[in-house]
Chain A
């Protein structure tokens, strides 16, 4: 099984599939970059350090890295308020925590300082996509693609169409991006595999999802979110032991409660009540911390937790409502509908329709 619903042929990679740096080496070197940059700070280097911290947070599932990146970005803007690079860096960290309005303010300031800043334009497109402004997003990505930037734009468009569930188009852009990739770092392709895997999960095409997420994990074994989603697929495909084996080390090592929450759910479904409760308590405590510190960033995942293994539908509803105020995406509406269902069984559809109409 491949990431794609059709199997790529040799014509897709005339020179063979790309040879990438081993994922273990890539993570070692990412650590080495962060260690090497942390005491040396030109503006460009501090911005690079912020990028690397965000990447490590994404790969290893470390919220503490995101928090450190955000602190550095605040300091960078404070120290160099006339440099667009600083505002773009801070916008990126604010977007990580779903502080989209503030992130867009930063990008506006960056645009005033450097109107042609390509990084700022890419960042803006990603935020518009997260906010559900799909037409504007597509316009930005399309314009960038017209200018001939290959891999990054094809990858962005693959992610865009994957989020929309347009599987054929997403696959085409996925192939375009993989074929145009000229680097050796495994991270960009692993991130792309992950996006496609999530797309297949949302389509309930679990075998395709497993193939994509498996590909992401083969490229970067330490990729926490890919391992976590793969565990979810394992469990849904009737292999809860495999899921538990994947999740347990993540739940122990990561400061992201998603993994302990999933573990609690799967163990509960398997009838291991005591263990499930222990993981549930750990997740609950951490979600409370995170929704207090970064409400916009964690409202959706926390809502999902309280509606599921957390078993507090009212709290889930409050967070789902808050999440919809942050961004009005189809997923946010779905989550709210789920929360309404959980709180008012039988009247869900009517209430959801009324809410949508308002």
Chain B
């Protein structure tokens, strides 16, 4: 749900509205890399994938181009694409869900067929695909995040209220035998997109890192350059691997302003701006792809560890990427507010309604009955 409400256009069709991207070495198989794309947050039981949308995974081998304050990645021009598309549902399953067939086009041109909600998914030579409705793995207290932005004071309560408790998403899970189906690595940059299919597919939205378009780019009031401008549709329309210079300063100014706001929430500056007037994280975050090291053992709390190591001039120790149930809001607020130089910030919500599994398709089964409010 870190990317839901990420711009007016993304909201126009819920099945095209990306909520999250995850990338992690398979906990049950070190030879596999797992990628998860979630769409349609808070979806009711009749939710299905759109037949007019391409759900695209883009994977590029990436190198670390620079360490220290100028830390940067250099993604390769070689790209591996997996594209999932879906039919119009025909009938219902025994559980009452619409019966929908899907297919995944692999980089080498194979098509893997699968049935939505089938936990075994489709399988063909190093690639396993699942698609269907599952339990929302993300958790956060949106009201207190909004209050924090509105009041300028950290507003989390010791016991928060999970805005996503008991809700479901539509998920697509790819389990890849990465040495077989990808080239290069083991460091990969991952981006997911939804595109309107047709003669010339048009990107609806994209996601790399979590909470970029919401927590980090959405608040307008701190941005002294474009205070009244909704920039996220524009941002979504950009190629994550090839951000054009035309609007770069618009994103940079917004991100600098919002990161500065967050840094000030504890009354002290942990992230002094550099000589170019930029927050130290801005450049890395605007490289908006999820970086994962497929050769490292699975780790549940490794988001941004690669980047933090780069900033400190160290070699990373974890796979980075992002696991389904990492307490992301605690992590990001601690990172943005004190950079790890102060006490961890807790948003008062520490778990989803159901923990994800360590076996395919990893996400917990969908919540059938509406759970009681948190």
Contacts and interface: CB of A to CB of B under 8 A. Distances in A.
A complexed with B: yes
Interface stretch (A27-35, A294-302, A322-330, A338-346): A27-35
A42 interface: yes
B224 interface: no
B53 interface: yes
A150 to B, nearest CB: 11
A31 B196 CA distance: 22
A33 B12 CA distance: 12
B359 interface: no
A28 B41 CA distance: 15
Given A25-B88, A28-B46, A42-B163, A20 B9 contact: no
B163 A29 contact: no
A24 B15 CA distance: 13
Contacts of A19: 52, 196-198
A184 B42 contact: no
A249 interface: no
B1 to A, nearest CB: 11
B44 A34 contact: yes
Contacts of B52: 19-22, 184
B199 interface: yes
A146 interface: no
B98 interface: yes
A122 to B, nearest CB: 13
A185 interface: yes
Interface string B184-227: 00000000000011111010100000000000000000000000
Nearest to A27: B46
A182 B202 contact: yes
Interface residues of A, number: 30
A6 interface: no
Interface in B138-175: 142-143, 146, 163, 166-168
Contact-residue size bin, chain B (C-beta under 8 Å from the other chain): 35 or more
A32 B163 contact: no
Given A19-B197, A39-B373, A184 B12 contact: yes
B45 A35 contact: yes
Interface in B1-28: 5, 9, 12-16
Contacts of B44: 31-36
A36 B12 contact: no
A116 B89 contact: no
A15 B202 CA distance: 10
A31 B9 contact: no
A273 to B, nearest CB: 41
Given A18-B198, A40-B42, A183 B9 contact: yes
B51 interface: yes
A42 B142 CA distance: 8
Interface in A174-223: 182-185, 188
Nearest to B233: A182
Interface string A37-48: 101101011000
A188 B166 CA distance: 31
A31 B15 CA distance: 12
Given A15-B198, A39-B370, A29 B15 contact: yes
Nearest to B133: A32
B228 A25 contact: no
Given A28-B98, A29-B40, A40-B163, A184 B89 contact: no
B50 A16 contact: no
A21 B198 contact: no
B257 interface: no
Contacts of B53: 21, 184
Given A33-B14, A182-B9, A183-B12, A25 B199 contact: no
A34 B9 CA distance: 19
A95 B18 CA distance: 32
Nearest to A188: B12
A25 B50 contact: yes
B15 A21 contact: yes
A21 B17 CA distance: 13
A179 to B, nearest CB: 13
A24 B91 CA distance: 12
Contacts of A35: 44-46
Contacts of B142: 42
Contact of B13 (A21, A36, A45, A116): A21
B295 interface: no
A15 B199 CA distance: 6
Given A24-B89, A40-B163, A15 B200 contact: yes
B200 A22 contact: no
A24 B90 CA distance: 10
B40 A32 contact: yes
Contact of A36 (B5, B168, B202): B168
A185 B53 CA distance: 10
A184 B17 CA distance: 11
B43 interface: yes
B299 interface: no
- Which 4 residue pairs of A and B lie closest in terms of their CB atoms, listed nearest first? A35-B44, A32-B47, A32-B44, A36-B42
Given A21-B15, A29-B40, A33-B43, 9 more contacts: A15-B199, A19-B198, A21-B53, A28-B48, A29-B14, A29-B43, A32-B45, A40-B42, A185-B13
21 contacts: A15-B200, A20-B52, A21-B15, A21-B52, A22-B50, A25-B51, A25-B88, A29-B13, A29-B50, A31-B46, A32-B48, A35-B45, A36-B44, A36-B167, A36-B168, A39-B373, A45-B42, A182-B9, A182-B196, A183-B196, A185-B13
Interface of B: 5, 9, 12-16, 40-48, 50-53, 88-89, 98, 142-143, 146, 163, 166-168, 196-200, 202, 204, 228, 370, 373
